[in-house]
Structure 1
Amino acid sequence: MLNKIKLLSAALLLVAGIAGFYLLADKPTVVRILVVLAGLAASVAVLWTTPLGQQSFGFIGEAVAESRKVVWPTRKETIQTTLVVFVLVVVMAAFLALVDIGFAFMVKWLLGRGA
């Protein structure tokens, strides 16, 4: 029950930070952003004390570790892939244009409206 109360309070702190952004419309933008960040920080601090929060932060850490293992393509590979996609799009556009013109010609011919 205590963990549910902590989760609810974490959500309310986040909502309070966001509400503060809109309630302080007459204040400088920096102050409004700091209010949101303070609400977010307080929410994270409360969330950290719950088992669900610990699991969530562990998952985020593992996701970051896995994303660092990604092998990104080189500049040359990116350019080659982009050119292949561009050429394929142009070829398909030409093909579909020819098919469209052919269908239009056949419909006109079948309806007897001249070709």
Structure 2
Amino acid sequence: MAKRPRSGPYICGIDAALDVVSGKWKGLILWELHDHGKCRFAELRRALPGVSEKMLTQHLRQMEEDGLIYRKVYAEVPPRVEYSLTDEGISLNAALEPLGQWGRHRLEREGLAINATPPHASTIS
């Protein structure tokens, strides 16, 4: 699959990284796939309350084009599609872990709680 055009030129590595993870749901999709290994579209949709089908589809396509996730289509009736992280997605997820820890500590300092975590999803630490 062809890579989607980037918005560069970039002024630093953070700029380039944020270009790939921009969008409200991409980080959460990465975490969900990290937690469960493989997920079908409906599983991702249930795990991410508030995401529309259109937005989830758009982010999954972009992430596949960016080489972060792998989309496997099974030759079955009805069709079955599973999403999983590529090595690039796994490395990005690992790079985002300290950011998640920073956010959690910030919430604790502010006396705020993490809300809307589905029962089967893990928290971002």
* TM-score interval, normalised by the smaller of the two chains: under 0.3
TM-score (norm 2): 0.26
Q: Which has the higher contact order (CA 8 A, sep 6+)?
A: 2
Rg larger in structure: 1
